[in-house]
A = this chain, B = another copy of it.
Amino acid sequence: MPDDRDWMAKAFAEAETGFSEGGVPVGAALVAADGRLLATGRNRRVQQGDPIAHGEMDCLRQAGRQRSYRGMTLYTTLTPCMMCAGTIAQFGIRRVVIGENRTFPGNEDFLRGRGIEVVVLDDPPCQALMQRFQRERPEVWAEDIGE
């Protein structure tokens, strides 16, 4: 059965696709308790002109309506912003695996405060891609995080 790093590779592939499209390189994957991949997604702010299409949000949209998120894990290459953290809490997702949290402060304390398990992989490729994006397209990054 694939492990957390294997699923993160799926999310990272989405981030790379987003970068090649000129978008914000954050990817996500939603995995069921039995190890089924339900959906992947990526930030599409630039591609779709959609400010709510962060990687995690796009992934949840791709997964479509679910009766319950019980037992699911959400993988995201970058630690969640407050929109995505609020959504994780609202949807009842109980486990989040994060690629890296060095390029953005994120909201891990909020998630943990809601009893959600948070795992940070501290993944160098996730971090390197984000650093490259922040260096090359600072104006898009500032817009995406509401600064």
Contact = CB atoms under 8 A, between A and B. Distances in A.
Interface string A42-66: 0001000111110001001101111
A37 interface: no
A80 to B, nearest CB: 9
Interface string A115-144: 000000000000000000000000000010
Chain A's interface size range is 20 to 34
B65 A57 contact: no
B83 A51 contact: no
Contacts of A57: 52
Interface stretch (A3-11, A14-22, A85-93): A85-93
Given A146-B69, A146-B91, A64 B51 contact: yes
